[in-house]
A and B are shown apart, each in its own frame.
Chain A
Amino acid sequence: MLSLHGYGPSIFEGTLLTLEVSLASLLIAMLLGISGALAKLSGARSLRLVATFYTTIIRGIPDLVLMLLVFYGGQMLINQLGPLLGYDGYIDINPFIAGVLTIGFIFGAYMTETFRGAILAVNKGQLEAGTAYGMSGFMVFRRITLPQMVRHALPGFGNNWLVLVKTTALVSIIGLNDMVRKAGLAAGATRKPFTFYLVVAVNYLLITTISIYILKYLERRYSVGVREF
């Protein structure tokens, strides 16, 4: 009943691209998230202000608007900067980079909140003990905060990841050949839009369901040392 008219491999390629975009954005989001969280908890007022501004702005603007702003605006910016740097040709912005940067930037804000909460949940006394042993600030973070905050961050992190995967569907709008766009192309050629979009929907369900199982496993693993009440 379900015939993909030979477009199976094409959809599969799109699925791989969706996964690539998701993982690359996740990496950026985590880097931004941890820096944002440290900035929010730091003593410097200016850093706190910047981080708060960042998270507030991101949560107020739709993903699609940000993505279009980065894609079209970034294109213009690069082409305005190009001549200043001595490059005369027209530069085409890569939709992969625009998509990954935008999604990473958006979810960096959500990760900031998740990581901030997780860092705050680490026992203060242990940090003081670390300092008392003469550890430097970075060493306290690496040896005490980081391993313990993972457990507190995992549930929020998992949620963000699931939302992030679904947000990657938007990159199809700026012309990236992810599975949504591949399905659109296949649908146009075969006049079977429902079939192809349903296949894509099922692919997303598979990705999210598998992710949930992996996250559950990780949560169990990182809670091994915790007594259950």
Chain B
Amino acid sequence: MDLSIIIENLPIYFTGLKNTIILVSISLVLGLALAVPLAILRNYGNPLVQLPIRAFVYFFRGTPLLVQMFLIYYGFGQFDLIKESLFWPFFREAYFCALFTFTLNTAAYTTEILRGAIKATPHGEIEAAMAAGMSRLLMVRRLILPSAFRRALPAYSNEIIFMLHGSSLASVITIVDITGAARIINSRFYSPYEAFLTAAVFYMAITFLIVFLVKKLEVRWFAHLQPQSTKAAIETPP
């Protein structure tokens, strides 16, 4: 092991870290924004609307992320329709293609997670909302979504980690993310252990950070389910 290689080349890893974080965070935010309406429509929409959503989720969950990325990055160039369109400057770029693929992929998985969470809303809560005269939209906003988000959090935290790990595929289409940085170092110095173990440490640090943050969020979101401590009970009597 020769750690001086890594120390001298840390800037490459930091560029990689930056790209990984940008790719993962943007695709997660956009994917979630797509998944919320899709999951609602998938539960309450009419069957004709549900069908394309089901097909979308089925396709993106049933095929490897790598193949999806190749389909978009290499595949779209096959069609003159896309090549002559306004979007071609975007789809020509590896970075945009990776972002596009990751967004759709995480949107599909998140839709499925949220669909299950929405479906598990207790009937009593919905009946109570109806009895209180809430409209459908108000019910979704005030009751169904907040409670579904809580139920979905553990599964969604897994999805965040899968997305982080999946983002390493971006290195295959020439993007310098953390894995891409490691591949550069490996090919330049022929030092696979140093290069890939450093990448592994970076990924592990991010994974543990995500797990830690989700735990904190869980404590906040599930505060009402925690057993009340004696001290709190004495200080703020009901």
Contact = CB atoms under 8 A, between A and B. Distances in A.
B77 interface: yes
Given A69-B200, A167-B64, A64 B75 contact: no
B172 interface: yes
A204 interface: yes
Given A169-B67, A170-B66, A194 B196 contact: no
Contacts of B196: 65, 68-69, 72-73
B170 to A, nearest CB: 10
B63 A201 contact: yes
A59 B164 CA distance: 11
Question: A interface, by DSSP: helix, strand, loop or mixed?
Answer: helix
Given A65-B168, A193-B75, A194-B79, A169 B179 contact: no
A173 interface: yes
Interface residues of A, number: 39
Contacts, number: 116
B203 interface: yes
A7 interface: no
A198 B68 CA distance: 9
Interface residues of B, number: 41
B67 A197 contact: yes
Contacts of A172: 66
Nearest to A179: B67
Which residue among A59, A64, A194, A205 has the maximum number of chain B CB atoms within 10 Å of its CB?
A64
Interface of A: 57, 59-66, 68-69, 72-73, 75-76, 166-170, 172-173, 180, 183-184, 187, 191-195, 197-198, 200-201, 204-205, 208-209
Interface of B: 58-59, 62-68, 70-71, 74-79, 161, 164-169, 171-172, 179, 182-183, 186, 190, 192-193, 196-197, 199-200, 203-204, 207-208
